[in-house]
A = this chain, B = another copy of it.
Amino acid sequence: MMYSLEAGGKRIRPALVMTAAEAIRGSSEARAAARPVACAVEYVHTYSLIHDDLPAMDDDDYRRGKLTNHKVFGEAMAILAGDALLTHAFSLIPQSVRQGVPLEAALAIVEDLSLLAGASGMVGGQVADMQGEQGMTTVKELEYIHLHKTSDLVIFSVKSGARIGGATPFQLEQLTLYARNIGLAFQIQDDILDLIGDESKLGKKTNSDVNQQKVTYPYLIGMQESKALVDRLTEEAKSAVSNAGLSNPSLLLQIADYLVQRDH
């Protein structure tokens, strides 16, 4: 569990939980109250990477420049480390009540995590991804895969932070739209970087999608159109943030830009 948690990564999801909380409430105490849920989402993300890398799934040897969990500890321990990370994530949400998060918000966050990370969310996206084949998948199906495999956990991150910050229903709706769009843009950017990125910066081999015959946006709609789509989604995400009437929107806007400009 610790090996994979400490393997690095951009920590974008926990940053979004804390930033969304602060953006709504406009105070740094909201960031502190959001910390247990921020950890929870990184636990869930890390479990999903460990299981995705397994030989029965993507069969990857490297992740973030280090050997994958099962290459170091064996398949059985990697499966169990993933199971334990997922399970432990949920114990962090009740802990946030001791940081001042209301009971109703904490229970709504439990339900959000369960629905957005499960069969109707992230796991459902992974299943669709396993079943997709080059030449057999439409843009609509690929959007389904990316929206669930990636956006849903990003939506959870932003929405849980917004709940902790005390968002109105309208703010929740706008921030959900922001998260959906940056999640989709993030995944398309991943597809692009897999083709034209720098292996040493990415910490993994490029062209893995091509070698595994994965369907990607550049494969389906071309590189230029994919880059234009990333830009369009990012602009729409930023508009949603501007519409929401937040105390402190600047960091959410910066994260949206960072995700387009990143090279790893």
Contact = CB atoms under 8 A, between A and B. Distances in A.
Contact of A84 (B1, B77, B123): B123
Number of this chain's copies in the complex: 2
B106 A79 contact: no
Nearest to A109: B94
Given A86-B86, A107-B106, A91 B114 contact: yes
A108 B75 CA distance: 33
Interface residues of A, number: 43
A104 interface: yes
Interface string A177-215: 000000000000000000000000000000000000000
A91 B115 CA distance: 7
What secondary structure prevails in chain A residues at the interface with B? helix
Interface in A72-98: 74-77, 79-80, 82-84, 86-91, 93-95, 97
Interface of A: 1, 47, 51, 54, 56-57, 74-77, 79-80, 82-84, 86-91, 93-95, 97, 103-104, 106-108, 110-111, 113-115, 117-119, 123-124, 126-127, 130
